[in-house]
Amino acid sequence: MAISLIAIAVLFPFAAGLICLFLKNTLLRSGFVASSAIVLISSSILLFSQGGLPIEYSPAHQWDSIILILDYVLLAFFLFVGVKDIIKNGWSARGILTSGLVLSQIILLGLFEFVWAPAVPLSSEPAFFIDQLSIIMCLIISIIGSLILLYAIKYMKDHEHHQHLNVTRQPHFFFFMTILLGAMNGIVFSDNLLWIYFFWEITTLCCFALIGHEQTKEAINNAFRALWMNLIGGLGFVLAIIYVFTNYDSISLQALITNPVVAVAPLFFLFMAAFTKAAQVPFQGWLLGAMVAPVPVSALLHSSTMVKAGIYLSIRLAPSITDTALATLIALFGAFTFMVTAIMAISQRESKKVLAYSTISNLGLIIMCVGINTPLAITAAIVLTIFHAISKALLFMCVGVIDHSMGSRDIEDMEGLVRRYPLIAGITVAGILSMMLVPFGMLLGKWAAIEATSAMSGFISPLVFLLLVIGSAATTVFWVKWLGRFFSVTPGIEKIRFEHFSFLYHSPLLMLLAFAGVFSIGVIPFYESFILPAVTAFYPNVIDTSNGFFGSAAGLFTAWPLFILLAIAIILVPVLFKPKTKNLSTAYMCGENVSTSADSFYSVADGETKLKLGSMYLDTQFANSHLDTGLKIVGLLILVSMLVVVLI
């Protein structure tokens, strides 16, 4: 039965996507998308309950040839896109980069297939290897991704209504959204590097199509940026495949990881692919540009797909870089990305941009843990991966509802939102708290990351720890600043009124919020049954949960007492410190208040000016092109240092 469930997780989304492409009736398509989401959720849970891990499986030999042919079809399409852009727009950088990177992969794959590989059959090793880490990722992809699909049904209807579109593009939208889930499951289940590469490139295709969904000039530019940046990772993947095969007569990822004498060069190329997918500096531009896409696309790319492919590959490769200089530089690289993108998030007032920088920052934290590469650090990486996926999907979808409710994603326009739209504001506040407040799972992961970093040895370790501390402080600043706008009360804001929004909106949001709360409250059994088996596959267990707390050599993470304190605060603070409406007064503006308006004053020539209060964004310090260029150069220098280390 397990093999059938694996096939459903990988192949069913492709079949469902094709059906969505040809279903023109909106009601039928919506019903089919909802049904497909339920099938994916059910199959992933059933697969988790099967046990019997690890599972190795190879389909018929013909599938290897089919995958190889489809690889060339994908690359041919990318080449067509690049050449078409050159013909249409001249010798633009994006067209040249796209075409050049694709041609490089086609040539290298051709040499591999027809010159180097014929001596050893490609089907000699299992195509699929499924262990606990694969199951964790499958549940993230299938459950969270499916909830986003449900949300997208209503969102895209409202979105196209606001855009005044006469012809719907939803069939194409749901086609790429759905097959992206299948491709992601293919990545986390595959062991054959050629199979992983095939699914890897499908995610690149979906990303390109979804970012360019609106077909505006800005959307197309950002779609091309995502394409050529991810093709850099694809080139790294091909180089790794060739190196592994020519030196070890294998294209098995597991064989690469468990080989005690493997060279670090192919590992560097695979990590390069992971870094581009995870939008680490200097490749963060494609994920920031993806903000032009509809909110469900952002939610999917940031939480359960695309960037998580890079994170999965990094965690999977972690055992193979133990006690290497490459691991140390990866830790520095991740910590640098974590810090600089957290600082840059402070300067953003567009909520999707804040969430985008937050995603890149948290992914950098996970990459840092992979580089530290101790049992506690890998535990932190997996915990952060799970809880980040839950909370980030929740927050992106909340921003989409807020945008459709008030017509803006600007944080400054969210002033007093808890009074104007208390339901969605309350869910958003809870989502933000789950990202930054103890004792939610994200903070458990950060606690483990801080402890692992403090125990790190080597001359770079103080710098890594400093970057972690500064990044953590900056993270608190941009989250608290956003929260402050929700609770700001100024004259003129009406009384609390509870809004109504669609079942397809609030049910995915409430389910994700429940996941964040329940898994955090029950974090010990969740860890023991879910996370620990993935860690102990390669590392010893260093966390003691026998006394009901998370214990390590440095101390305890006491989840239950902290949740009790949080519950008491939630109950008592509003009662003891409830603001009284009669104590609210208009702002004092030097006696120049306009008598007919509570938030306006007379300025030059008795002109009526509206009072505007706002947060400090330090945009002149952090949101400028020179700083961005400098940070990219530093990130690139760290990557070059990695390459030098693996070559000498």
- pTM for this prediction: 0.94
pLDDT of residue 123: 47
How far from each other are the two terminal CA atoms of the chain, in whole angstroms? Answer: 48
User: How is residue 390 written in tokens?
Assistant: 């839950």
Q: Which of 321, 54, 64, 16 is nearest to 197 (CA)?
A: 64
Residue 545 three-state SS: coil
Residue 608, Cβ neighbours under 10 Å: how many? Answer: 11
SS3 state at 354: helix
Q: Rounded to whole angstroms, how far apart are CA atoms 308 and 381?
A: 12
| pLDDT tens readout for residues 304-314 | 889 999 999 99
Q: Indicate the SS3 state at residue 36.
A: helix
Given a cut of 70, is residue 106 above it in pLDDT? yes
Mean pLDDT, residues 128-136 taken together = 96
Bridge partners of 190, per DSSP, are: 128
Torsion of the alpha carbons at 592, 595, 598 and 600, rounded to the nearest 10:
-50
H-type alpha helices, 23-61: 26-50
pLDDT band at 594 (very low <50, low <70, confident <90, very high): low
Residue 582: phi and psi, rounded to 5, are -70, -20
% residues pLDDT > 70 (the chain) = 89
For residue 105, what pLDDT is reported?
Answer: 97
What burial class does residue 311 get, using C-beta atoms within 10 Å of its C-beta: 0-12 exposed, 13-18 middle, 19+ buried? buried
Q: What is the mean pLDDT of residues 333-353?
A: 95
At 586 the pLDDT is 63
pLDDT average, residue stretch 198-220: 96
Residues in the chain: 648
Structure confidence by residue, pLDDT tens digits, 349-376: 899 999 999 999 999 999 999 999 999 9
Q: Taking residues 197-222, report their average pLDDT.
A: 96
pLDDT at 114 over 60: yes
Q: What is the torsional sign of CA 56, 12, 72, 279?
A: negative
DSSP string covering 571-618: HHHHHHTPPPGGG--PPP-TT-B-TT-TTEEE-GGG-EEE--------
> What mean pLDDT, rounded, does the chain reach?
89
pLDDT at 611: 67
pLDDT value at position 170? Answer: 94
Beta partners for residue 252, in sequence order: 192
CA–CA gap between residue 301 and residue 309 (Å, rounded): 10
Tens of pLDDT, residue by residue over 184-196, are 999 999 999 999 9
